[in-house]
Structure 1
Amino acid sequence: MNFQETLNYMYERLPMYQRVGNTAFKKDLGNIQILCERLGNPQEAFQSVHIAGTNGKGSSSHMLAAILQSAGYTTGLYTSPHLRSFTERVKVDGQEIEEEFVIHFIEELRDIIEEIQPSFFEITVALAFAYFQSKKVEVAVIEVGLGGRFDSTNIIQPLACLITNISFDHVDMLGDTLEKIAFEKAGIIKPGVPVVVSQRQAGVDQVFQQKSEEVNAALSFASDALQVVPSEKGKITVVHKEQPNREFMPSLLGKHQHLNICGVLQMIEVLNTQGRLKIPEGAVKTGIESSQQLTGIKGRWQQLGEAPYIFCDIGHNEEGLATVVEQISRYPYDQLHIVLGMVKDKEVGKLLQLLPQKARYYFCKPQVPRGLDAGILYEKALHIGLRGELAKSVAEAINKAKAAASPRDFIFIGGSTFVVAEVEGL
């Protein structure tokens, strides 16, 4: 098989959550354990850091990987989902996995794939671990895919864990309260392994405290010790209760990154205290200020154009979209244009209510099986007073917005990771 044939086999043969929804989510670790045993348990060949959360875990993973890479460590990074190419999911020192490795890996494991029928995510996690071992990775940053407790990544024994923001998402699988969702995320906390939580949240803190006490894991909340104060022209000052102030100019834009930065900085402090890694301050500064360039992260409040402003963001739940709206409000513009698409398994009505009524909307359907029909989205939006027009594709919606916008306007593209994935030139 060539690379495209290999991907087709994976997409068609293995249930993939991003395409088919919760039928691909398996609430046990049996398959990943079988796969890794077959491979000789490659996850034991490198040190790791584990990152869970609802919003911010991807950005935090990329920042942390950039810092470790800047400190001179051969650094693996596993994230999901990908935006443009499957190979974005697995990187070493910012370089994506080679297509040939993916081809050979699937060919070699085809018999066991047919036998145990793992999910797309399960086989991808095993692939990442095997690749990191082959590249002699010294430390890998592993992002949880969904939840934590039953996530396939949860067979690693990390140096430390980081849990970012908790908000409502995937409620059909993780629970319909923040406490239930936090319980699933807390499943990555392991005996004796220190855990950092980026921020305190009412009703959620005690879930992490209880789990940490149960397994004797040292727990710290980054927001207790660290605070970010924005200054001029994109700079920030990080204020620490017990250390001198530090200044950074983050490459990941947006106020919502401030809590992520605090969580990452607290993680660095924990890792340095352990003594198994040595991460100098210069590497921290380089990693935070160059994380986009070093890791290739995309779609996080990413600017695509100016005059008019054009931004995209993968935020797709209540907290994510609320953050997007707040970010937009920080820019001057005459008219706001929003290219919007969503997936079927979201509470669309709730999400639409977060969006500004004065914007002009261009409704579209991302080209995945889970994509919500643009006509249904249009009708739901119209019902609450959001007005706009239909487009046959994400590309057509973007073109319509660009054609209608003046140089003094603002165009936002989002509503779903899969809408952003279809942005040309991302």
Structure 2
Amino acid sequence: MSLNETLKYLYDLQFFGMKLGLENTIKLLKSLDDPHRTFPSIHVAGTNGKGSTCAMLASIFQAAGLKTGLYTSPHIKRFSERIRINGEEISDYDIINIAEKMRNEIDTLKCTFFEATTAMAFDYFADRQIDIGIIETGLGGRLDATNVVVPEESVITNIGMDHMEHLGTTLKAIAGEKAGIIKNHIPCMIGSVGEELKPVFSQAAKRQQAPLFFYDDIVRVEEKKLTNSGSKVDLFLKFVDGEFELKELEIGLAGRHQIQNAVMAVAATRLQKKFNIPEAAIREGVRHPEWKGRLQIINHHPLII
């Protein structure tokens, strides 16, 4: 198949709609020899900010010299934006090749578009022998196709009223679905979610015996500067095993909301124990993430965003 034929085939899988559940993904990945089990990962969910947090996490690990896979959705212009290694998008050849390899199983299982693309990303990452994968959920968490991973750490950025037809009509119900990415004995970082939702995550973490860290409990941020091109903050993190501070931390994504996303990425980096990430890599990664189309400045004179 050509690239256009392959993409049409994948997009046509949306005919099967949105099916929440892991059964198809597990079977499809098994036919590929379970590629998701071959690399460590960080799994990120949340109503808003999860893509930006993923981008900064990937940028940090890449700056540390690690071969870093990044799986996000949706794409803005090209399908290949969804699947990247060290910032480089998956090639046309690999899209065609992996889709063809999966096609019989996809057709048999009647997989959805997202199930197929998730399996494609994991197969590509395994084949390229990445050091770590940064994996963004598509919708919710508990029944999202990405929830087959057993990560080094889970991250939930925030909770809002989204996809209520699938996730529930209350914030507590939605929080419960996103808390479904909390895994047994795997640490989890939770963004600023409000006191009323903390028990939802605390109960989920207790069931899984998972260490839990709330943004409001461990983070102190002093905003120093906010411009069209980013911000500068003093950051203080307080963990059980000690404190960590980054003064004059430059955040390369524009908007005050990106401060929390950047802090989540930094905290998640410090909480995982698989890799020792130096401070210089954290600073570089947060300063220069690649994340287009999010308050991105196209021109300075005149200012075009």
Matched residue, 2:297: 303
More strand by share: 2
Shift of 1:239: 3.1
**Could you list the runs of 5+ residues in structure 1 that have no partner in the other structure?**
17-22, 312-426
Measured against aligned partners, the alpha-carbon deviations of 1:96-123 in whole angstroms (never above 9, x if no partner) come to 0011011011112221222111000000
Aligned-CA RMSD value: 1.5
- Is 1:142–2:135 an aligned residue pair? yes
| TM-score where L is the length of structure 1 | 0.67
| Equivalences, count | 297
Q: Shift of the alpha carbon at 1:308?
A: 4.8
* Residue of structure 2 aligned with 1:282, choices 280, 283, 297: 280
- The code of the aligned residue for 2:247 comes to R
Aligned counterpart in structure 2 of residue 180 of structure 1, from 163, 170, 173: 173
Query: How many Å apart are 1:306 and its aligned residue?
Result: 4.2
Task: Tell me if the contact between 2:159 and 2:193 (Cα under 8 Å) persists in the aligned partners.
Answer: no
Q: 1:49-198, aligned counterparts within 5 Å?
A: 49-198=42-191
Give the counterpart letter for 1:298 in structure 2: K
1:269 lines up with 2:270 in the alignment: yes
1:222 CA displacement: 2.3
2:218 to 225, 229, 244: 225
When Rg is computed on C-alpha atoms for both structures, the one with the higher figure is: 1
Provide the C-alpha distance between the structure 2 equivalents of 1:176 and 1:147, rounded to a whole number of angstroms.
Answer: 13
- Asked if the contact 1:223/1:262 (under 8 Å) is kept, the reply is no
Shift in Å, 1:228:
2.5
For structure 2, the residue ranges without an aligned partner over 5 or more in a row are none
Structure ranking higher on relative contact order (CA contacts 8 Å, 6+ apart): 2
- Which amino acid in structure 2 is aligned with residue 189 of structure 1? I
Q: Distance in 2 between matches of 1:244 and 1:267?
A: 14
- Match runs of 1:189-268 below 5 Å: 189-232=182-225, 234-241=231-238, 242-268=243-269
Name the % identity. Answer: 39
1:239 is paired with a residue whose SS is strand
Q: Give distance in 1, aligned partners of 2:302 and 2:52.
A: 26
In structure 2, the CA distance between the partners of 1:147 and 1:128, relative to structure 1 (3 Å rule), is: same
CA contact (8 A) 2:57 2:134 kept: yes
Sort the Cα spacing of 1:177 and 1:71 in 2 relative to 1 into closer, same or farther, 3 A.
Answer: same
| Matches of 2:131 and 2:173, distance apart in 1 | 34
1:230 Cα shift?
Answer: 2.2
Q: How far apart are the structure 2 equivalents of 1:305 and 1:152?
A: 38
Q: Deviations over 1:6-57 (max 9, x none)?
A: 1011112x017xxxxxx72212111101110000000011011100000010
Aligned to 1:5: 5
Q: Distance in 1 between matches of 2:191 and 2:213?
A: 9
**Cα distance between partner residues in 1 of 2:78 and 2:184:** 36
Q: What residue number does 2:289 align with?
A: 291
C-alpha distance after superposition, 1:185-244 (max 9, x if no partner): 000001100000122413211110010001100000123222322223532221345334
Residues 223 and 259 of structure 1 are in contact (CA less than 8 Å); yes or no, is this contact kept in structure 2?
Answer: no
